[in-house]
Amino acid sequence: MNTYDSLLATVSAQSGETREVFDPATGELIAEAPVNDVATLEAAIDKAEATQPSWAALSDEERIAYLHKAADAIEAAAEPLAELLSREQGKPLNGPNARFEVGGCVAWTRAAADTPLPVEVIVDDESGYAEMHYRPLGVVGAISPWNWPMMISIWQIAPSLRMGNTVVIKPAETTTLSVLALVAVMNEVLPEGVLNIVPGPGSTVGDALTRSPKISKIMFTGSTPVGKRIIEASAPNVTRLTLELGGNDAGIVLPDVDPAAIAEDLFWGAFINTGQTCAALKRLYVHDSVYDAVVSELAKVAAAVPMGVGLEEQNVLGPLQNRPQFDIVDRLVESAKASGARVVLGGDPDREAAGNFYPTTLVADIDPQQDLVLEEQFGPALPIIRYTDVDEAVRLANALEVGLGASVWSADRDAARKVAARLEAGTVWINSHGGLHPMIPFGGAKQSGYGREFGVMGLKSVAEPQVISG
């Protein structure tokens, strides 16, 4: 049975090049993480390539059974996995955080296993017969981020394995231990060589993974600039890509809302994972007639939500995962202050503290062209913009080059849907923001990437469609 100490011992580096891992809430040294090189990556790719034919030769039912065993193994190790995630990433155990994330790993693995994907009959009439099959691609290269390191890794791993591919995954450099532990638990029940992990720098290991001619598909979640580099690096091999890139999600609050009724959902849409979520609400446009009331009710909710060390059970907001991200949020809020925007709550971090805590921050009466609005802050700071005409709010929401998610808030669902249809985003939520479902496709528009994950579309995205005609 896995414990926190046994898992940490399994994934900590004992020799070779290492990197110190510090708890972002306390500054405490957790362990040494391994740092692999390109030669290690190439060996892992070769192993995955050699294993893939035998994995693909299994029946769909056999691969489904393996995924259920992997889900069971994650569930059995849920508490030590959550503790390690909390210590390394910073997110609290409770709330929509570490325990929630490990539970999501279990749920998404089972969903990927159980989603039916039958042969599709395309034509069956006097003109002929044709059917669509979905074949394995080969080796999938997965590159996961630091904000939801375990769950997003599962979003890449589980469908790939279900469809008969093998996987080589490179975790983010600052959340290496979490993903190493997740993979170690899964590999207790998976055949050797099916799931491989190689931690290392993006500039060397990540770059080599995207350039390898032996990789048939790259799945990446991260920033748009890195996504563009992956497109360039993989182009000579015509590698298939699924890219979930940066977002700066807009929410539009229509004038018919009850501010008190929507305040808590607005808060969690923006501040889940302390704002460190690609599809979090990052700029909120509120009609003038309800603006002051929405700001007031949102501030009441925000002020009551405890932030602190993740292992302390009462906390549901934690630190920023790394200091560079803290500095980005700090810079953007200071820029907003200097522009004359009104800080309703927060905005006063202790920059000398050991942990990367940035207080929950609401910024009102801010110019829509201010940096805090235009740049993705990826932290616990929400700009709230006043508008008087919904056409102008839609124009501002669509003005940026990204379009991952968006939301519309209204007591009239039909009116909200009409506004939602005008927004340029991969997903538009009504009266909520950021909720995901394992059967509902998810992905971005514009420079927030391309390809879809989850459900039937997610399985098809890691497979090669093949028509058999005649």
Reported as a single tens digit per residue, the pLDDT across 249-307 is 999 999 999 999 999 999 999 999 999 999 999 999 999 999 999 999 999 999 999 99
Catalytic residue selected from 49, 244, 424, 453? 244
3-class secondary structure, 107: helix
Q: What pLDDT score was predicted for residue 51? A: 98
Of 94, 95, 101, nearest to 75 by C-alpha is: 101
Q: What pLDDT score was predicted for residue 15? A: 86
Q: What pLDDT score was predicted for residue 14? A: 82
Does this chain's domain 4-245+448-469 share its CATH topology with 249-430? no
- Write out the CATH class of domain 4-245+448-469: alpha beta
d(CA 11, CA 34): 8
Torsion of CA 184, 188, 194, 197, to 10 degrees: 10
Token pair belonging to 70: 């992997």
Catalytic residue selected from 278, 297, 424, 453? 278
Secondary element (H or E) of residue 172: none
For this structure, is 105 an active site residue? no
Taking 70 as the pLDDT cut, the residues of the chain under it are: none
Q: Which residue has the tokens 């080589």?
A: 168
Q: What pLDDT score was predicted for residue 252? A: 98
Could you tell me if 172 and 149 are in contact, meaning their C-beta atoms sit under 8 angstroms apart?
A: yes
The CATH code that applies to domain 249-430 is 3.40.309.10
Q: What pLDDT score was predicted for residue 437? A: 97
Q: What pLDDT score was predicted for residue 395? A: 98
Residues in CB range of 233: below 8 A, 6 or more apart:
207, 210, 211
Cβ-in-10-Å burial (0-12, 13-18, 19+) of 367 comes to middle
For this structure, is 75 an active site residue? no
d(CA 440, CA 462): 16
Could you tell me if 407 and 265 are in contact, meaning their C-beta atoms sit under 8 angstroms apart?
A: no
d(CA 96, CA 337): 30
Domain edges within the chain: 4-245+448-469, 249-430
Three-class SS string for 200-268?
A: CCHHHHHHHHHHCCCCCEEEEECCHHHHHHHHHHHHHHCCEEEEECCCCEEEEECCCCCHHHHHHHHHH
Of 63, 57, 296, 69, nearest to 160 by C-alpha is: 63
Amino acid at 180: L
